[in-house]
Amino acid sequence: MRDDLEKSNQAVEFVSAQVLFPVIRQLLAEGRQAAFTVTGMSMWPFLCHGRDRVVLNVCTPEALRVGDIVLFQTEQGHYLLHRVTDLRPGQFQTTGDGNYFRDGWFSNDCILGQVIRFVRKGKYVDCCSLKYKILCRFWMFLFPVRKLIFVIWFRIRKFIRQ
């Protein structure tokens, strides 16, 4: 699975979520891994739109931990790739790393898979590595001041780009 896309000379084809995620669900149901390029900025700064590609594995509710990134489908049919911020029996809560609000509680049955690593600029980042877990925990700890961090960051960025 590693570097298959980079090694191939085939053109990249963009597909809608309604087409992509049922295929991912099928691959994971077969015990295979699945990968796709992230769209949207809700997981910034850890995952970036169009730049990062995530690799998913099957995830059982028993293996789910706070800090894991999961792909799930909401009751409304939307697909989200967000970080687990809390657990209770039969349910999980998520928050996008780029958000300063919680998504709410979802049934464990909504989970399609768990991100085990991601690819950024050709390099693999293992989501189980100690360095990655410490960084994520620190970011989760900053949740109460995340909105302020974003305001400051975007003002600095605007100033730098002038």
Q: For residue 137, what is the domain's CATH number?
A: 2.10.109.10
pLDDT number for residue 85: 96
By the 8 A CB rule, do 91 and 105 touch?
A: yes
**Domain range for residue 49?**
4-161
Instruction: Give the Cα separation of 92 and 112 in Å (integer).
Output: 13
Q: What angle do CA 73, 74, 75 make, to 5 degrees?
A: 125
Higher pLDDT, 151 or 9: 151
The string of pLDDT tens digits covering residues 46-84 is 999 989 999 999 988 889 999 999 999 999 989 999 999
SS3 at position 33: coil
Distance CA 123, CA 57 (A): 19
H/E stretch holding 69 reads: strand 69-73
Find the range with the poorest average confidence among 25-29, 107-111, 157-161. Answer: 157-161
Q: pLDDT tens for residues 112-144?
A: 999 999 999 889 999 999 999 999 999 999 999
Query: What integer is the mean pLDDT of 21-50?
Result: 90
Please name the amino acid found at residue 134. Answer: I
pTM of the entire predicted model? 0.83
Q: Indicate the number of domains in the chain.
A: 1
The total of other beta-carbon atoms located within 10 Å of residue 123's CB is 7
User: What CA–CA distance (Å, rounded) separates 98 from 72?
Assistant: 17
Q: Note the helical H segments in 13-61.
A: 17-29
Per-residue pLDDT tens over the stretch 2-24: 444 444 445 666 677 778 888 99
C-beta neighbour count of 134 within 10 angstroms: 10
Better pLDDT: 10 or 108 = 108
Q: Which of 133, 131, 101, 98 is nearest to 115 (CA)?
A: 133
